[in-house]
Structure 1
Amino acid sequence: MEVSREDISVSTTESKTLSAELADHLCERIRSDRLAPGDRLGTEAELADQFGVSRTVVREAVGSLRGLGVVIGRQGRGLCVAEADNFSNVLRKALVPQVASPQGWRELQQLRAVIEIGSIALAVELITSEEIIRLQTIVSEMKRVMKKMKQDPKGTSKAYKEMDCLFHQTILAASHGNFVKQFHGVLLDYFHAGDLYGQSPTLQGLRQHEWIANAIADRDTDQATRHLTDHLKPQLKAPTQ
């Protein structure tokens, strides 16, 4: 995405500094040009010349983007898009306040449900044959685990939740949205740490997983969305005051 010198100078307002606007332009370039981790954005001098601002402005913009984990400096290459892990680290830090209260936990669970339901149509469209087989294999494993419920309730619950996690991660991975997958992964990490992921193993929950997997295998977006929404409905309820 090409941005002229006028684009950044004329649109500046009192509430937005040049450095903040430059940071926005750089983020937009990363999004619109679909730049990958490690892709080069330029040196401070190159960016100052391209956008018609001082190197001080560039330095301030770059400093804020470094702090957010969006960009990094590479010797001999200048400014580059940060690795994906940095994005995950920023998310983890940003979500820390939410885990301090029961309502915060509930809101994170709602966010997780919204992300999954919002991504299901893309997953149905883009999922590969290998990923469909993986989903069906996970469901088969969940059935096998459930048979041990009476003999080992605690062990069965733990194994089932691990399969549950893999099931939903596979769906998100099938949407091929890297940031979405990372965001979802960060949420699941928090839920596991707080022992709040998923529901207790039930035959109804198992059937819902099977229905979701079958609908996705049939490339039936409407059915997949309906079954996934029913499955995640408990997490969509408003927090109790």
Structure 2
Amino acid sequence: MTKRKPLSTVVADSLREKISSGELQPGIQLPTEAELGAQYDVSRTVVREAVARLRSEGLVVPHQGRGMFVNEAPVPRTFSIPDEALRTLPETIALLELRLSVEVEAAGLCAERRTEAEADNIRALMEQVDARHDDPSAIQIHYDYDFHLAIAKATRNEFIYAFLAYLRPIIVPRFQLGHVVATDVKEVYYARIHAEHRAIVDAIGKQDGRAARRAMRAHLANSLERVRALALAAGIDATDVDQQAAAAALFAELKRPPRAEG
């Protein structure tokens, strides 16, 4: 079953299309909140959220005391991920593929460029994150994202760090670890992830860019493999219950030794 878009997204999409098509010309004033609410049969809160989204995109601008107007200046297209995205297994898989392509190189650059203080900080952060062993039902699947951000920051490439930092508030709250890790294999799962993290950190400590890239690729590829397997087991349109049942059967493989990286 396809999830319905939030009402604020529906309204924002409609207004965006009217601006793009020229129905709402540059410089024209938007209808009032009350008028938009009546037009779309939604509350003023929904209208405010929709207009705020358009404002953040630079499509509309406020004129003090007069209201909101369509921006007269051309607005360059920017990369964005819709709020309703990344809530299901297929979008989570797409995200992991994107992260893998960026973070493999980030790990190598980090190893080659990091300071001793940064290497120490990355190791300390890994130990802190990996020591928690939280209940999978109460933690997000990307619980180690701060560890990955610390690696990105030490690349000395502001665009890599800014891109991954941009993704953080979008992806971290979306998907609970409990959807992909059964409670009875929790400890084994955390031990596996710690081993993968440690391989990355050790390579960074040795300033071995090739090994760091290889270890990061193994870490994210293993995560991608696990989530892809869950998608196949549970089905694209599976409910949370379906996904958790599939996870319980699927993650018995965690009791086997980790896959060796070639």
TM-score by length of 1: 0.52
Structure-1 separation of matches of 2:157 and 2:142: 24
Structure-1 separation of matches of 2:173 and 2:141: 16
* Structure 1 residues 197-233: Cα deviation after superposition (integer angstroms, max 9, x where no partner): 7975521111111121111010111221221111111
Alignment correspondent of 1:127: 114
Structure-2 separation of matches of 1:169 and 1:112: 11
Per-residue deviation at 1:103?
A: 1.9
Gaps of at least 5 residues in structure 1 are: 1-59, 69-89
Distance 1:161 1:100, change over 3 A: closer
> Aligned residues, how many?
151
SS at match of 2:131: helix
Amino acid paired to 2:127: S
Structure-1 separation of matches of 2:173 and 2:210: 33
**In the alignment, which of 127, 139, 142 is matched to residue 158 of structure 1?**
139
Structure-1 separation of matches of 2:197 and 2:142: 12
Residue 138 in structure 1 maps to residue 138 in structure 2:
no
Distance 1:187 1:215, change over 3 A: same
Alignment correspondent of 1:217: 205
Of Structure 1 and Structure 2, the greater helix share is in 1
Please give the root-mean-square deviation of Cα atoms over the aligned residues, in Å.
Answer: 3.4
TM-score by length of 2: 0.48
Residue identity over aligned pairs, in percent, reads 19
Moved more, 195-204 or 165-174: 195-204
| Preserved CA contact (<8 Å) 1:112 1:187 | no
Alignment correspondent of 1:183: 163
Distance 1:187 1:196, change over 3 A: farther
* Structure 1 residues 120-179: Cα deviation after superposition (integer angstroms, max 9, x where no partner): 221111112121011111122235324xx6xxx359x639964x2221111111112222
**In the alignment, which of 58, 63, 88 is matched to residue 74 of structure 2?**
63
**In the alignment, which of 154, 165, 173 is matched to residue 193 of structure 1?**
173
* Structure 1 residues 13-49: Cα deviation after superposition (integer angstroms, max 9, x where no partner): xxxxxxxxxxxxxxxxxxxxxxxxxxxxxxxxxxxxx
Structure-2 separation of matches of 1:235 and 1:160: 10
Structure-1 separation of matches of 2:166 and 2:177: 12
Aligned 1:1-241 pairs, distance under 5 A: 63-65=74-76, 68=77, 90-91=78-79, 93-96=80-83, 98-99=85-86, 102-146=89-133, 153=135, 158=139, 162=143, 164-195=144-175, 201-237=189-225
Structure-1 separation of matches of 2:224 and 2:141: 22
